[in-house]
Structure 1
């Protein structure tokens, strides 16, 4: 068995999501390493019969399109899991391990909920064991919840969804015995459910996403923590029609008016501006963008784990999205600023920013930079396939004018990519 957050699961999920065979992946690693590479290492690393050494970090980061830090974290998780298995005293049972005993021996009583609580006997075992939560456990679970929001920027949705599911099962089983930490874990469960809804949406499971969002909002209400409801509404707005989305985003902002939520308010207000612009309400969109910019200036990095994605470039891109719909005179200058603020990371945020910048240039009639940035957007969206990426590809192809050869060729390339 492999660690769910280990290097084997990570490399395999990225390769399979990209539709590559192991030999194809091996060639990418060899090209990035600029030297000899044994293709069998792809299989060894995925099965964790061996773990990649640090010398391979740059090549793996380039070949899989993720930061070197993600490689190091995953290898570290695999090493810790191996040590736990080695240190555990496991008794055999008819040539097979008794799964309850094995999990409990390796991880303690709380582990019953981590991977077996989806089965009826697993849920019963979790209820009977009634694991208790101490301060250390509560802190670890909350920190792990926060870590998922950082990982979301790089992990394939399918792998993220599996990890979130395991984490949510753990929280679900521990909350009844959490005592003084019940509210803390309920908030973490709500945040996890909201992100699980986003992952489900990314995988095209709209109905599943809505159920997760509803559950997240319920957790927020039970914990008396409106920010979780705001998070769920913010994510859910992407799958709503414009009028409903605008209403949901306005409601969400009412839940994050206290200290420590300036960045959250900025994100939600910028999203409201995007929806208002889509409805043709220029005055409402501009007012919402004003609120977004003011709140962003008051924001402090790390206020909420779930706003880690919302950096200056993302605020710029949402402004661009609204400006493009309104044909606003600041379109080109905002596009220029967004490019300056865009970092070099290969995250999902990059897809959104590049799309909004390219679309902004095209809407302003600046076709040459629009097509140039558009090709970078297509490359990023193809390398990291997402539901939102496909939607943006479709919208961008429709926005490209047909009377210009370069724009027409890019639109044809996008349509070919969408049907591939």
Structure 2
């Protein structure tokens, strides 16, 4: 450590922290105000720190004692027992180092994290921006950890750059690369948060984000306009889906128009593929299949394999629901596309696609086909993808399909148990999609004669009545 500090070798320093304190790259980044990717670059020697203010921020974030600070070439924090009076060192993103949680604070936050529905609406944009800068997949535990770190003071300091940005960017001459990158990161973060946050908590942040993008697009220089249009389109597709989840059909349609215009302006027609894929979730039967196939028309001939795999899985589900055995071939094609895909590098909306979600699609397809020969193995694979870090919206869908699988093979007790878990997960995230999917097992529940099934059916119908008529 003395060698690392004397040589001002931040990569060596981070490697030692990771090795001996068991701290991940993500948690180091949270503490010192870097993305996980930037921490990785320093650790691999691909980048070096030279600025004094950055060294000071690292020392602050890691909670270095004065002897370590002095070895690094920084002034001590305490002289003759009196704290030094100094202004906070701003991070590149504007967050003072004194307000970033230290490694020790992050450890304490893990023990008592806030739940997603406890996050104030004003914190959503700050959280989205932080999550969007992380290069690695963000599981439920990491998201809760970051949310826990957003105390009122920290959230204010993280949000302040955006407020200053809105005031400062009165003209296109003030738009720069750093600003565009921040907006792109925040769009990615909003898509990631959709897996965990209730729609009501996400909607206000999304609309504020789109308002900022709209203001910046007016008169933006050509070198930035297409990028801003693309990120606006990616945000609008999500806003349309969230508006539908909140039963705001007029707003959903309006956001669809925005995404279509943004797709044309940006030269990224694949944005429309995402729009139609979301539409398919809100439809049933042949209409849903038509929406998926419309989405596939916007795919390029090569590349974007994560979106391709997602659309093939959706097509497999809809074909299976119509009793078409071609569903199995679509699943095979989806797996091939997924093997080539890089979900965390392709599009803002593809971050959700992983082995667990692919397992859920497999289960749903085999259940809809009534293929008992494969239902058991598909059930095991899907359940294996669920743990405490799994997003609750996925959990609601998987548990519904598992419940239907159990009813198909004659285990009604297990079917009722998983259906109850699905309902609890859907309620926890206020997921209209999850509650709608639960409608697929209402008939199976109605055929049961035990009290647990009867009680669950009553609860489910009462929740679904808010969405429209029940199929049971």
Greater Rg, structure 1 or structure 2?
Answer: 2
Structure 1: runs of 5+ lacking an equivalent: 1-50, 86-102, 114-125
Q: Distance in 1 between matches of 2:386 and 2:377?
A: 14
Structure with a larger share of its residues in helix: 1
Q: Give the drift of 1:388.
A: 1.1
Q: Distance in 2 between matches of 1:367 and 1:373?
A: 10
| 1:1-16 matches, cutoff 5 A | none
Partner of 2:339: 297
**Aligned partners of 1:161 and 1:196 also within 8 Å:** yes
Does residue 238 of structure 1 match 2:284? no
Partner of 2:354: 311
With over 3 angstroms needed to count, the CA separation of the structure-2 counterparts of 1:356 and 1:166, relative to structure 1, is same
**Aligned partners of 1:216 and 1:228 also within 8 Å:** yes
| 1:307-346 matches, cutoff 5 A | 307-328=350-371, 329-345=373-389, 346=391
With over 3 angstroms needed to count, the CA separation of the structure-2 counterparts of 1:188 and 1:390, relative to structure 1, is same
Q: Distance in 1 between matches of 2:191 and 2:208?
A: 15
Q: Distance in 1 between matches of 2:435 and 2:234?
A: 26
With over 3 angstroms needed to count, the CA separation of the structure-2 counterparts of 1:73 and 1:259, relative to structure 1, is farther
Q: Give the drift of 1:56.
A: 5.4
**Aligned partners of 2:320 and 2:368 also within 8 Å:** yes
With over 3 angstroms needed to count, the CA separation of the structure-2 counterparts of 1:341 and 1:83, relative to structure 1, is closer
Q: Give the drift of 1:348.
A: 1.5
Q: Give the drift of 1:129.
A: 4.2
Structure 2: runs of 5+ lacking an equivalent: 1-99, 119-139, 467-472
**Aligned partners of 2:114 and 2:147 also within 8 Å:** no
Q: Distance in 2 between matches of 1:324 and 1:82?
A: 47
Picking from 48, 59, 78, the partner of 2:112 is 59
**Aligned partners of 2:393 and 2:429 also within 8 Å:** yes
With over 3 angstroms needed to count, the CA separation of the structure-2 counterparts of 1:277 and 1:207, relative to structure 1, is farther
Partner of 2:234: 191
Picking from 108, 111, 118, the partner of 2:166 is 111
Q: Distance in 2 between matches of 1:74 and 1:112?
A: 29
Partner of 1:137: 179
Q: Distance in 1 between matches of 2:157 and 2:261?
A: 38
Q: Give the drift of 1:135.
A: 0.9
Segment of structure 1 superposing worse, 372-381 or 197-206: 372-381
Partner of 1:34: none
Partner of 1:362: 407
**Aligned partners of 1:245 and 1:275 also within 8 Å:** yes
For normalisation by structure 1, the TM-score amounts to: 0.71
Query: CA RMSD for the aligned pairs?
Result: 3.1
Picking from 162, 171, 179, the partner of 2:213 is 171
Deviations 1:250-280 (A, max 9, x none): 2322323455421211111111111222223
| 1:32-181 matches, cutoff 5 A | 55=108, 57-61=110-114, 67=141, 69-73=143-147, 75-76=149-150, 78-80=152-154, 82-83=156-157, 107-108=163-164, 110-112=165-167, 129-130=171-172, 132-175=174-217, 176-181=219-224
| 1:180-259 matches, cutoff 5 A | 180-257=223-300, 259=302
Picking from 402, 410, 413, the partner of 2:456 is 410
**Aligned partners of 1:210 and 1:236 also within 8 Å:** no
Q: Distance in 1 between matches of 2:244 and 2:207?
A: 14
Q: Secondary structure at the match of 2:244?
A: helix
Q: Distance in 2 between matches of 1:162 and 1:132?
A: 26
Q: Distance in 2 between matches of 1:213 and 1:389?
A: 22
With over 3 angstroms needed to count, the CA separation of the structure-2 counterparts of 1:326 and 1:84, relative to structure 1, is closer
Q: Give the drift of 1:248.
A: 2.3
Q: Give the drift of 1:226.
A: 1.9
Q: Give the drift of 1:413.
A: 4.2
With over 3 angstroms needed to count, the CA separation of the structure-2 counterparts of 1:371 and 1:240, relative to structure 1, is closer
Picking from 365, 381, 384, the partner of 2:429 is 384
**Aligned partners of 1:133 and 1:179 also within 8 Å:** no
Count of residues in correspondence between the two structures: 338
Q: Distance in 2 between matches of 1:320 and 1:210?
A: 31
**Aligned partners of 2:113 and 2:144 also within 8 Å:** no
Q: Secondary structure at the match of 1:177?
A: coil
Q: Give the drift of 1:73.
A: 4.3
Q: Secondary structure at the match of 2:325?
A: helix
